[in-house]
Amino acid sequence: MKVRDVMTAPVLSVRPETPLKEVARLFLDRRISGVPVTDAEGRVLGIVSEADFLIKERGATGGRDRGRRPLAWLFGDERSASEQAKVHAATAGEAMTGPALTICADCPLRDAASLMIDRQVNRLPVVDDDRLVGIVTRADLVGAFVRPDEDLARIISDEVVRDTMWIDPQRVSVDVSEGVVRLSGAVDRRSTAEILTKLAGQVDGVVGVEAADLRWELDDRNMPPAADRGERETTAASLTHREPPRSTG
């Protein structure tokens, strides 16, 4: 599953010159906690979030003096230049956090999840050809895990077994219950079974994979490559040596 499959679109955005009070009103009226800031061409410049308003509020109420290290006054204000700018911000451009952290619309969901975790953000503007096309949140990623079991079974059977591994779907049975995939049937090699199991587990929404009933005709764990044996391999697990199964549709 790609980011574009779960993102919210069209997405609200503001311009750098948008008054900050207008942004705050937008948050309240639309019940959102962040909004991208874009230029005239739709390129994302940054994001204004509730956290930016909290920084401004803390500075406005004198909260910056609470919790400071002893003798901080001796070394000057501890706040960064960007934080000081947010305190006095009057527009979205002055309050936003930038440069913007974005994700491409065709990126896998796992890339968005990794970026959110690594950079500790709750939302990512989604871009296509450097233009804003949507927004994806942590809640959207969680939603990907509630896909119906029948949808997961179809995706694994069609896109993984048939289209990626080039295995006749009639040879491999795919059953899904509560997100847990159970593979059964027979494939040519043990390595094929291992690759198939791994790919099935990477489908967004899959909780786990059980492949105890997936058999193979040849255990190739300790077999040297065909080139080392001086022979042509006719039943290679390599996808380049398979013929795609014919569609029965």
Domains in the chain: ranges and CATH: 3-144 (3.10.580.10), 147-241 (3.30.1340.30)
The owner of tokens 């509730």 is 50
Mean pLDDT value of segment 208-237: 74
Higher pLDDT among residues 232 and 199, named by residue: 199
Weakest-pLDDT range from 13-22, 94-103, 150-159: 94-103
Q: Mean pLDDT over residues 154-182, rounded?
A: 94
The answer to pTM > 0.85 is no
DSSP string covering 156-196: IIIIIIIIIT---GGGEEEEEETTEEEEEEEEEEHHHHHHH
Q: Where are the beta strands (DSSP E) in 30-179?
A: 34-38, 44-49, 103-104, 123-128, 131-137, 172-177
First to last CA, the chain: 23
Q: What is the pLDDT of residue 74?
A: 44
8-state DSSP, 116:
H
Per-residue pLDDT, 73? 39
The CA dihedral of 131, 135, 141, 147, to the nearest 10 degrees, is -90
Mean pLDDT, the chain, whole residue set: 82
Instruction: Give residue-wise pLDDT tens across range 62-75.
Output: 544 444 444 443 44
Residue-wise pLDDT tens digits, 111-126: 998 899 899 888 899 9
What are the CB-based long-range contacts (under 8 Å, 24+) for 56-64?
56/20, 56/86, 56/87, 56/89, 56/95, 58/87, 59/83, 59/84, 59/86, 59/87, 59/88, 60/87
CA dist., res. 144 & res. 159, Å (int): 17
